[in-house]
Amino acid sequence: MNIQEYISKDCVTFQLQADKKEAALKEMAELLYQAGKVKNLSLYLKAVEERELEYTTGIGGGIAIPHGKSATVPHACIAFGKSETGITWNSLDEKPVYCVFMLAIPEHEDETHLDMLSTLARKLMHQEVQEALLQANDIDTFYQAIE
């Protein structure tokens, strides 16, 4: 799976303003909504928040991968947001999150959901990828980091 195919430029920001998880989830969901990737913001955000209650999506290393499956998502996609100051997230390593990958998945696409999560997690486990993401400040360096 080529993860870049699911990330459009209009769903990437290098200036997340949120400093807490709840606000970051809303900010990222709004990014997807404004880009037309999510048809109903509140329904999608509810799915993401419910998933977050099950188990933290802050995987450590300054990275979180919140995700939600919803009928309001017509096609699988990913938004990326970077915070310069860090976001309190309740991550596995108890450190702030600086890079957020938010997955939006149509309600019944379980296989796509698992493929996206596993592909992204495999990429993000490498220290050099994490460091490149933290240094990325434009779309080209971002795409290079996750290549």
Mean pLDDT of 15-26: 96
Q: Give me the mean pLDDT over the 122-134 stretch.
A: 91
How far, in Å, CA of 53 to CA of 16, rounded?
Answer: 22
Give the pLDDT confidence score for residue 110 in this predicted structure: 77
Percent of the chain with pLDDT over 90: 77
What are the pLDDT digits (tens) for 87-119? 999 999 999 999 999 999 999 887 887 888 889
Res 114: pLDDT: 83
**Mean pLDDT value of segment 5-32:** 95
State the CATH architecture for 3-146: 3-Layer(aba) Sandwich (3.40)
Q: How is the chain split into domains, by residue range?
A: 3-146
- Cα separation, 66 vs 49, in Å, equals 9
Whose CA is closest to 25, among 44, 4, 6, 5? Answer: 44
Encode burial over 6-42: b for 16+ CB neighbours within 10 A, e otherwise. Answer: bbbeebbbeebebeebeebbebbbebbbebebbeeee
Catalytic center residues: 67
pLDDT tens profile 46-94: 999 999 999 889 998 899 999 999 999 999 999 999 999 999 999 999 9
Confidence label for 3 from pLDDT (cuts 50, 70 and 90): confident
